[in-house]
Amino acid sequence: MEELTAALHSLLPEDLVITDPVRLRTYECDGLTYHRATPGVVVLPETAEQVARVVRLCNDFGVPFVARGSGTGLSGGALPREDGVLIVTAKMRRILDIDLDNRRAVVEPGVTNLAITEAVRDQGYYYAPDPSSQQVCSIGGNVAENSGGAHCLKYGFTVNHVEACEIVTPDGDLVTLDRMDPGYDLLGAFIGSEGTLGIATKITVRLSRAPEAVTTVLAAFESLEQGGEAVSAIIGAGIVPAAIEMMDALSIEAAEAAVACGYPAGAGAVLVVELDGPAAEVERQFTRLEEICSAAFELRVAAGPAERAAIWKGRKSAFAAVGRISPAYIVQDGVVPRTSLPAVLAAIDRLSAEHGIRVANVFHAGDGNLHPLVLFDDAEPGAGERAEVVSGAILDLCIEHGGSITGEHGVGVDKSRYMPKMFGVDDLDTMQLVRCAFDPRGLSNPGKVFPTPRLCGEVPGVRKGVHPLVESGKAEQF
């Protein structure tokens, strides 16, 4: 590590290499704070070429590297390696080009998600994926995680809105992956690979035209079941809203305590439904929506941007708000087919009662993406463990119902142990083929996504001796 650090110092200006232990510790975790590791060394490159050189140095020394954007990830994808280099893209935050005629913007990876929209909003455009951390999260991190957001029900995820990426491959080569190019869709494979296939250094995103009309509705129901029935009826009516969000009584209580969002008192569930598109279409869909939500005891329609923001305020503050009603909590992220929502919510209720652990439910109801907040008191012996059990059992429920262990937070270090429950050995081995094609030495964010470190072997054919990791029993030959 010392030799590598010396080499990094000769490669980069003094202030771009961090070795001071106190400063290193500020990078010890991302948004998932219960996994921590102090990075061996941190670099803050300013150019793609510098990223490439750092990666090549890591190759020369056989040292792993981890990329980090703003560090807001919730699955530990940017958890550093004590024996490795943390490459932070925070200094690469220029918007390089905005081309409204071609509906494109070219940005560096450290640019925040919201900064892109802010740069084009006045011209009537925006960048569609909107993770709740969009004020701070970086577009490079969005690419790594294939981030979604409340509006991906209608508009899709990061992978549907990125046209090209310049990447530094795990070997240290600069390569451009472009949707326009013929050949394998390596761009599609790269996006969402959680930093295991290389580092994005320049990203071309697609900009969307702002809709002519937006109507945001808050519907309050006496029970979660009624809310769920309304969601099914909306989808059944052939309406694809921009967003359908649901909160249960406990999360409403938390949001009320934290931000006084003023949601209707006594609601067992609130739905936030946003319709957008051509004005004539939105108008007709809204009429239909009013009929569908006839069971709601209160229906509020935002009259303008301020009222829309007020409706969203409670929903967007929900994660942080549960801090007001619980000393500690786990944010879970799982997906079930939308039609399984009632059964899964009932099962979560049973789990909650059985273990004496409260669960607040906040979810993207339109696409079946649950964010149960598992509440516990970390001062109470055993409570954390019981919360972990409940949190894990919720993922098992998602798998049982044909869903997914993560809809948008990623696998990272947090959920790699669940991957063998969702996928078979052959599925995971086949995914490893992609890993081995990009990163045969396993240096790019190792230990994330996949449960067991596997080695790639030579291609094709002849093997050159036994790898030390295999010999020591720490890995198996692939």
Rg of the chain taking only CA atoms, in angstroms: 23
Interface segment toward other proteins; rule CB under 8 A; list 30-38, 55-63, 132-140, 235-243? 235-243
Query: Pick from 23, 25, 94, 284: which binds other proteins (CB under 8 A)?
Result: 284
Interface segment toward other proteins; rule CB under 8 A; list 44-52, 55-63, 112-120, 182-190? 182-190
- State whether the Cα torsion 224-227-233-238 is positive or negative: negative
* Residue numbers 334-353 binding other proteins by CB under 8 A: 335-339
CB of 143 to other proteins, least distance (A): 12
Query: Pick from 68, 364, 371, 454: which binds other proteins (CB under 8 A)?
Result: 364
Query: Pick from 423, 452, 469, 475: which binds other proteins (CB under 8 A)?
Result: 423
Contact flag: residue 181 with other proteins (CB under 8 A): yes
**Alpha-carbon dihedral angle through residues 349, 350, 354, 357, given to the nearest 10 degrees:** -10
Quote the CA–CA distance of 318 and 196 in Å, as a whole number: 31
CB nearer to other proteins: pick between 40 and 447: 447
Contact flag: residue 209 with other proteins (CB under 8 A): yes
**Alpha-carbon dihedral angle through residues 53, 54, 55, 60, given to the nearest 10 degrees:** 90
CB of 404 to other proteins, least distance (A): 4
CB nearer to other proteins: pick between 308 and 371: 371
CB of 233 to other proteins, least distance (A): 10
Query: Pick from 6, 96, 260, 280: which binds other proteins (CB under 8 A)?
Result: 280
CB of 156 to other proteins, least distance (A): 7
CB of 166 to other proteins, least distance (A): 9
Contact flag: residue 183 with other proteins (CB under 8 A): yes
Binding mask 377-416 for other proteins (x = CB under 8 A): -------------------------xxxxxxxxxx---x-
Query: Pick from 107, 186, 224, 351: which binds other proteins (CB under 8 A)?
Result: 186
Query: Pick from 127, 312, 376, 438: which binds other proteins (CB under 8 A)?
Result: 438
Contact flag: residue 327 with other proteins (CB under 8 A): no
Binding mask 115-154 for other proteins (x = CB under 8 A): ---------x--------------------xx-x---x--
Binding-site size for other proteins (CB under 8 A) equals 88
Query: Pick from 5, 19, 38, 160: which binds other proteins (CB under 8 A)?
Result: 160
* Residue numbers 31-90 binding other proteins by CB under 8 A: none
Contact flag: residue 454 with other proteins (CB under 8 A): no
Contact flag: residue 112 with other proteins (CB under 8 A): no
Quote the CA–CA distance of 81 and 413 in Å, as a whole number: 12
Give the tokens for residue 356: 């004496």
Interface segment toward other proteins; rule CB under 8 A; list 86-94, 167-175, 376-384, 467-475? 167-175
CB of 60 to other proteins, least distance (A): 20
